[in-house]
Amino acid sequence: MRVGLIPTITDPRTIAVDLDDTLNNFTETLQNGEFPYDAGDSLSEATFQQYLQRIRNGEPESDDLLSTGYNYCRFKIHLRCYQTARARPDGVEFMQWLKQNRWRVVICTKRDLRRANDCTKAWLKENDIPYDYLFMTANKIVFCKAWGIRHLIDDAPFSIVHGEQYDVRVYYPIMPAHASLPATNARGFQAFDDVKRWIQE
């Protein structure tokens, strides 16, 4: 596997794949996981429990500062989820099929890989998920457009809604949160076998 810039001329058999809630059960792990209080974090237990509930609710930091007690706590809890989330079995099988059929696989994630790079790579290795590149990107649609990647698997509503505008074919695992999205040409799937069929059309 390589880390670096993707070649400027991409192969049509290149696909970008998200990690959290696409290849794993991140949200389920966050909502139901056990996160014990650690007095070494310099937070009171009451503050930790308050932060934990906010993190489970997906609340952002209300302060403009990047380095806050809340942000630190959120990163630690997310890091634990990155390490313990279960891989989706049909997703693992799909990723292996891609490599066996000579697709170039680009994993795109919103994770802060400056701090979560090692644990992300370790999780991918432990779950036998092959890939060629691993990138951190906030806007996967613009990333795919810039590098000529025509296929994206991602659960993010922004990608689902705006993929067509940038000529990126988006496939997403169907979740309750997607029910209120406007109609688009993005394709929702229950099983990765659907995606396997669609990208060969």
Specify the CATH number of the domain 14-24+87-198.
Answer: 3.40.50.1000
Q: Quick check: 115 pLDDT over 70?
A: yes
Instruction: Please give the Cα distance from 59 to 62 (Å, whole number).
Output: 8
Q: How do residues 162-191 score in pLDDT, each as one tens digit?
A: 999 999 999 999 999 899 999 999 999 999
Domain-wise residue ranges, the chain: 14-24+87-198, 27-84
Report the b/e string of 86-119 with b at 16+ CB within 10 A.
ebbebbbebbeebeeeebbbbbbbebebeebeee
Q: How confident is the model at residue 66 (pLDDT cuts 50, 70, 90)?
A: low
Q: Quick check: 1 pLDDT over 50?
A: no
DSSP assignment of 104-167 equals EEEEEE-S-HHHHHHHHHHHHHHTT---SEEEE-S-HHHHHHHTT--EEE---HHHHHHTGGGT
| CA–centroid distance for 17 within its chain | 8
Q: How confident is the model at residue 134 (pLDDT cuts 50, 70, 90)?
A: very high
Q: What's the rounded mean pLDDT across residues 8-21?
A: 84
Contact 142, 42 (CB under 8 A): no
